[in-house]
């Protein structure tokens, strides 16, 4: 098929997007497809014309544009199939506050939270106890994220987010347990992965995610069957509640009693050599090329060309 591979963009996660695109391009080529690279930061006006000529668009964008549904909307305007969530689900899932509102509506347990929008001259009242986390409301890869243990550090954490032009999602800390992540592929949840940040770090930050000596990631997660089943069920429930198609990955914190709390759901999970989705897929027998092929198959099934073959 004639493929366009859309990656790059202008979010704070541009480098991660481009890194993943290298491996995806190689996999698509090995699978026999003709691949043309397209970067919205430089080729935005070409998205619709090139998509109208293509058989499929493979997205590897993180943040906005891409995870916000904008590129998906343009592809639908061009009647071009693509993989993953549609515009509405993408928009909801990228916005952490909106995601948590959907979780609450569907009975999914999530840490207590507040949204702090930057309004000059106005001051919000913090209602959550410390420790807590402060993160960009529509960002990923832990860019701009801080853990706050002392009161005097809270304002600095907010400013770290505001300088990125974001609202801040403030979230209660879930302590005493571990961190898990669980992907959904098609209609099934993959084995959860346990994440152990490297010694000397307090959470799964950018370096833990992408450095070669980053966090230890264990798949399947060494937890009991009941917790595995609950995390998988919550991942599937979040996937369906948000209206996501094809694949997603949800992140969890487990408290000291073994109770899982869902944090967020990613509609375009990372696809670098160190990313979590390919690792979980490998455990169930899908190597990287097979995973890419399955994502293309699911995309053609979910977003078929309305004008015909």
Catalytic residue set: 13, 141, 210, 249, 251, 264, 266, 270
- 150 DSSP β-pair partners: none
CB of 239 within 8 A of CB of 232?
no
CB of 290 within 8 A of CB of 64?
no
């Amino acid at each position: 098929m004639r493929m366009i591979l859309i990656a790059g963009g202008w979010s704070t996660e541009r480098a991660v997007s481009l890194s993943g695109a290298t491996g995806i391009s190689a996999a698509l080529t090995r699978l026999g497809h003709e691949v043309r690279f397209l970067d919205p930061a430089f080729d935005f006006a070409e998205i619709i014309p090139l998509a109208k000529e293509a058989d499929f668009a493979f997205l590897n964008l993180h943040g906005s544009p891409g995870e916000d549904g904008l590129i998906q909307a343009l592809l639908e305007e061009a009647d071009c199939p693509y993989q993953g969530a549609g515009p509405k689900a993408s928009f909801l899932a990228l916005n952490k506050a909106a995601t948590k509102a959907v979780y609450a509506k569907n009975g999914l347990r999530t840490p207590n939270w507040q949204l702090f929008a930057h309004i000059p001259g106005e001051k919000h009242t913090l209602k959550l106890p410390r420790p807590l986390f402060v993160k960009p409301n529509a960002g990923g890869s832990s860019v701009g994220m801080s853990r706050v243990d002392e009161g005097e550090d809270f304002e600095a954490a907010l400013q770290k987010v505001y300088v990125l032009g974001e609202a801040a999602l403030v979230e209660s800390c879930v302590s005493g347990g571990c961190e898990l992540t669980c992907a959904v592929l098609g209609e099934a949840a993959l084995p959860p992965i346990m994440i152990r940040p490297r010694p000397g770090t307090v959470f799964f930050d950018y370096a833990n995610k992408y450095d070669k000596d980053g966090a230890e990631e264990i798949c399947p997660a060494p937890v009991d069957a009941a917790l595995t089943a609950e995390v998988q069920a919550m991942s599937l429930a979040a996937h369906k509640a948000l209206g996501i198609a094809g694949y997603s990955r949800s992140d969890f914190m487990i408290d000291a009693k073994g109770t899982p709390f869902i944090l967020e759901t990613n509609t375009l999970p990372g696809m670098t050599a160190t990313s979590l989705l390919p690792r979980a897929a490998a455990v169930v027998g899908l190597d990287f090329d097979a995973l890419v092929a399955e994502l293309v198959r699911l995309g053609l099934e979910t977003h078929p060309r309305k004008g015909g073959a």
